[in-house]
Copies of this chain bind each other. A is one copy, B any other.
């Protein structure tokens, strides 16, 4: 079977899988340096070009990293290493998919915030308080907001959770959210949400934290829903649009709870 498989499988892909296998079974451990591209290519019986493509793929996955002139290394294989890639989702996605992303965040962030309320230590909560002041201070609001939320999720002590949530929150999306709220004069509401979350953390109250986080995500979700509907209306007026281009991706991501009901 191996032979038949190998015959029709692209050489590069085979190389990728062979390296993954060697990492999985421990021949290459986290932080280890790999043999040189030339040696590895000879070892696996492929050209250096193909080997480089395989390495490039594994670098993209966050499994390897290369240092010019020094060698190729296995990363620490932390969740944050391996999940960095999927920020492309929030980067490239538009429209309905963004709503889906927010729906997932509405499942994760409240639970994460509640966890943080129960487990964060004083230093972490103090740090979060500092970030909150940065937001209100007004300078670099977007990145400050991003940092605030990341710090909360990080305070859960669950690196995987933090990495997943970070992936679902992209800087570019946050920028749009803030711009949209500023335009609508709603920044005060966001501020209010943040303070409520912080107070819940200070009080070590998981339930309050969960509720505050839910309200926050919901607010953003409502805004996005309205904005998307606005865009759709504009397009609808202009023309029926011959190719709306979306074959799949189905319905506009409805919801179960009141937020959706309100919308309909």
Judging by beta carbons under 8 Å apart, are A115 and B256 in contact?
Answer: yes
Contacts of A107 in B (CB 8 A): 107-108, 111-112, 161
Q: With A100-B160, A158-B103 as given contacts, are A63 and B76 in contact (CB-CB < 8 Å)?
A: no
- 0/1 string, A57-75, CB within 8 A of B gives 1: 1011111000000000000
Among the stretches A34-42, A82-90, A124-132, A221-229, the one at the interface with B is A82-90
Cα of A114 to Cα of B57 in the assembled complex, Å: 37
A52 proximal to B (CB < 8 A): yes
Beta-carbon nearest neighbor of A10 in chain B: B68
Judging by beta carbons under 8 Å apart, are A77 and B56 in contact?
Answer: no
Judging by beta carbons under 8 Å apart, are B250 and A159 in contact?
Answer: yes
Cα of A177 to Cα of B153 in the assembled complex, Å: 28
Contacts of A118 in B (CB 8 A): 256
Cα of A89 to Cα of B159 in the assembled complex, Å: 12
Judging by beta carbons under 8 Å apart, are B104 and A160 in contact?
Answer: yes
Cα of A259 to Cα of B249 in the assembled complex, Å: 37
A245 proximal to B (CB < 8 A): yes
Among the stretches A91-99, A138-146, A188-196, A234-242, the one at the interface with B is A91-99
A4 proximal to B (CB < 8 A): no
Least distance between A41 CB and chain B CB atoms (Å): 14
Interface residues on A, range: 35 or more
A23 proximal to B (CB < 8 A): yes
Cα of A108 to Cα of B60 in the assembled complex, Å: 26
Q: With A247-B76, A253-B157 as given contacts, are A88 and B61 in contact (CB-CB < 8 Å)?
A: yes
Judging by beta carbons under 8 Å apart, are B76 and A82 in contact?
Answer: no
Q: With A56-B57, A78-B249, A97-B160 as given contacts, are A88 and B63 in contact (CB-CB < 8 Å)?
A: yes
Cα of A49 to Cα of B12 in the assembled complex, Å: 14
Least distance between A113 CB and chain B CB atoms (Å): 11
Cα of A164 to Cα of B52 in the assembled complex, Å: 29
Judging by beta carbons under 8 Å apart, are A60 and B63 in contact?
Answer: no
Q: With A86-B83, A100-B161 as given contacts, are A23 and B92 in contact (CB-CB < 8 Å)?
A: yes
Least distance between A88 CB and chain B CB atoms (Å): 5
Judging by beta carbons under 8 Å apart, are A254 and B157 in contact?
Answer: yes
A180 proximal to B (CB < 8 A): no
Judging by beta carbons under 8 Å apart, are A161 and B256 in contact?
Answer: no
- 13 A-B residue pairings within 8 Å (CB atoms): A24-B91, A49-B52, A56-B60, A79-B93, A79-B97, A89-B160, A97-B160, A100-B158, A103-B158, A103-B160, A104-B108, A157-B250, A158-B253
